[in-house]
Every structure is written in C-alpha cells, then in structure tokens.
A and B are shown apart, each in its own frame.
Chain A
Amino acid sequence: MRTAFLDTLYELAKADRRIVFVTGDLGFSVVERFMADLPDQFVNAGVAEQNMTSLAAGMALMGKVVFTYSIANFPTLRCLEQVRNDVCYHEANVKVIAVGGGFTYGAMGASHHATEELGVMRMMPGMVVVAPADPVEARAATRAIVAYDGPCYLRLGKAGEPNVHTGPIDFQLGRAITLRDGRDLTLISTGGMLGTAVAVANRLAERGVQTRVLSMHTLKPLDEEAVRAAARETGAIATLEQHSVIGGLGSAVAEVLAESNGERVRFRRIGVPSAFSERVGSQKWLEQYHRLDETGVLAQVEALLRA
C-alpha cells in the first residue's frame, strides 16, 4: 500500500505543482525519488510533527495541496490539536498520511500500534477518513483525496500486501465497494482486513452461508445506505477492523444501526479491545492474539450467527 500510494502521488505531483509532500523524517529508501525529482515539492520537517502539521496547514492556505507523512500514531495523535485547529478548523487542503495502521509495526511495541487513530480522526470536524484495503484501493484513494478539496486522513498498511481486488474497481469516497453479495450475513471491513473478510466468506460459503462482503474504505463520510441495506437484506452484520472496537468502523456502523428505526439486525464489532496489547509480535501473530485472523474471525462470526 505504501508503494502504491507513493508511486501514485509521485505521478500526480509531477503533473500538479501544487502538491507538496511533507515528511516527518521518515520514508528511508522509498521517498528518495520524489525528493530528487521534485525538490520544490518535497519538505522534510524533521522529527517535529506539530510543526509539520501546522506548516502544512499554512502551505495549504497559500494554495498548496499538502501531504503530511509519518508512521503509526505520529502524524495524528502526536499533533492532534494541530490537526484539529490548524487543518480542520481552517478547512485546509491537507492530507494526513499514516503508514502502519493497526499492528503493521506489531513487534515495535505499543507506541507503534495504531489502534485508536481512526476513531480520533473520525471525530475531527470536516475530516474525510479513508482506510484502503489493498494497493488497488490505495492508488484510487490517493487520486480521490487529491481531487477532494479539504482535510483528509489516509491510513495505509505497509509494503507488500497482496491485492484483494482482482480487477478494476469503482472507487468513490463515501461509497462502499461490494466484493460479493449474499443474503445471510454482511461482513463490513475497513483497511487491510478485507482479505480476511473474503477468506471467512469463502469458508462460510462451504457450509451454505451466503455472505455479503463490503469494503468500507471510507469511514467518514460513512456509506450509511450500504449499512442500512445490509441490515435490511441480510439481517446480520459483523464489522472487521484492525482498530479498537471503540470509535472506528464498528462504532460508526453501530451508530447508523441504532438510529435505523425498524431494522432488526444481529450485530457484532470485531476488532481490538480497548486495551494495550500485553505482548508484541508480528502483525500475523497479533492478529491471532486478538482473534483477527481467519480462524478467530470465523469463530466470532459463527457466534453471531448462533445468537
């Protein structure tokens, strides 16, 4: 996803001199081409995320389309008030990019586990929040947020994730993508959990459970109609995210369902408990630890279907 994002941004920036890439001293071995070829559109703000974010807002107010870039919680939580006051309150055309959503940097410890920032960014007034599922969505999301004039948050994974989408997609901010349809259950996934959602749907299909799978790449604005349709047409919804069950996709979907008078639906949020991980490990290991791997998700979905 990181490579897909950077390659796409490089192409866009070559054609649009308004685009500026501001990094918080991160991107070794991947940002050098941008730095060398587009020096007037590249800024290394140093290890100073507050200044990075405010100066990005300042540049945006002068007409630039500014990307701030760092890993995990650094471009969001470290400088949250700058995101709120300088970017969002000024409706500045700043795109906050985080590499390493969820447990991408699992072994690096709790400081590097980005498991609350989707909820926090979702609360920022005027902020569009996007968490693409794979490199295909990451490319489309990058183009979409450049075309959109206003604050955006883009949560990326890392490098080397496989594509989940096997063909071209119709990517629109605020519009869920349906990967497969079904009448018994809907799995709504955001970010890099989409592959797991598809795998679980395949397992359920083997026993005759037809599962709708939605990629909810945009958490805000949420595709509320897709949520209501899933409730109405499938009767059961599980949300899937590498994020706290508080504040992220699960909360966003729950808010819609709670206000959808008359929709009776079984519902479960599958994600990370609101607690720090007591052990570190690879992303794969932490997914197992938090029952976010295929087996764990399948078990949680089966519990929902039995409810």
Chain B
Amino acid sequence: MLLTLPATAAMAVFFVAPIAIFVVYSFLTAQLYDVSRPFTFDAYAAALDSPLNRTLARNSIEIGLLSAVCSVALALPVAYWLRYATGRWRMVVLFLITASMFASYLVRIYAWRTMLGEHGVVNSALQSLGLIDHPLGFLIFNRFAVTVALVHIFLPYAVLVLFAGFQPIRPGLLEAAQDLGAGSYMRFRRVILPLVAAPALSAFLFVFVLSASDYVTPQFVGGSSGVMLGVQVQANFTTVGNYPLGAATSLLMLAAFVALYLAMRIGLRLARLDRVRFS
C-alpha cells in the first residue's frame, strides 16, 4: 500500500488540486486574464444565458450524437465479424484496427482536410473521372466534415470496446437461438442487441463525450456551421481572457456528460441489462 504513496501524492498535487482550483475559478469574478472575489454564480448565469453558447451547445450535441451513432453503428458489424469470423484474416484486421488507433490525432484532421478540400482528393478524383465539372463545395467546412473526421478518430475505440463486449457471447448462444427458430434479424434483436447493449452504450458515451468536447477538429474542417462549444471554451482562456466563463461553461458540459451517463445507467437497469452475468 505504501508503494502507491508517490503516485497518490503526485496525483493529489497535479490533478486533484488543478481540478479544485478550476472549480473555484468558475465561481469567481472575471478580470481580463485574471480573477478576483467575490464568489458569484455570474459566470454560470452568463454561460447559460449566452445565445452564442446555446447555438454552439446545440452544434456540439448534434455533432456529438451523429458521430457517436455513426461510430457505434459502423463498429457493431465490424466487431461482430471480428468475433465470429474464422481464419487468419481476423487477426490481421484486428491488428489493423488497433494500429490505426495510434495514427496521430492531428494528422487525421489534416488528412480529412486533404481528402475533402476544394482541391482535395475526393473532388479531384471525381473531376478526373468526369463525374463532376466543378468541385463539390459541401464536403468541407461544415458539420459533415467535422463528423467524418471525428468518426475516423474514434471508430477504432468503438470497435475495440464492442469487440470486448462480444467476447463473452459464445457462438453457442447464437446457435441455440437459431435452433429455437430465430432468423438473423431475431438473433440480432433478441440476443445480440440485449447482450451488447451495455458495451455499446459505453462506446456511444465515449465517442459522444470526446466528440462533443473536441475543440481542434472544428477549427480546421468545421467552417462556421461546424463550430462547437469547445472552441468557445478554449477562446475564453486563450484569446478572450474570461477564465470564470470558460470554467463555468466547461463544467456545465461536464455536468451534462455525467447526467447522460447516469441516464444510461438507469436505462440499462430498467431494461435489466446492467448486470448480465455470462456463464
């Protein structure tokens, strides 16, 4: 137990203390790049009142939801294939998916700018094939581009979470379901879906939280319709200099994430899917 002491001390000083100070900041009065007393709720009121924040929050939620839904929907069949397919390709694909997780975050964003830009790969390929005369303008600097880049970043995580979720579902269970008359849709609806509900929701939450709080992707491929709350929070600290407002806004985001997490737990419990024990 003593062995944990150095790490505990380090985490207390460099993690707990920063978070605590951050929370305190959100209740202080703003000065330019500084704070002062008295303690108030002004920053929270301002964060909630700001029409800009509301628009950006809606953007964040929509883009976050879209990214999470797309990631999980795409990851489900991939994880299914990884779990139940046979042969050596399975290992290769698993390796490739995991490896892609370690392709740099910034590089991915840049890669999609290269792909989707006005003179990007997609447009120039379509043009050289003669399918279009002028570059498609709707590919980049909007929500679509942000969502594509975010799905690209988080898909490997979603696949691995779901792959782990599929692990305890033995092929025998699916055979038993089929033997009892369940076709492929019924097997999915009545066996697979309830059994991967918990990991699928974890993956969903994971992608949603990290997408909705992203502040880098929108800056490079989001244009004006793809701006998100994280960009504004970052601006409060770096260019506007209103620390309490930025802190309050981000803590409200965090509160929303926690609320979403709790809602999912309650939903799983009500569906009695929170404590499935595999034998």
Does A associate with B in a complex?
A: no
Residues of B within 8 A of A (CB): none
Residues of A within 8 A of B (CB): none
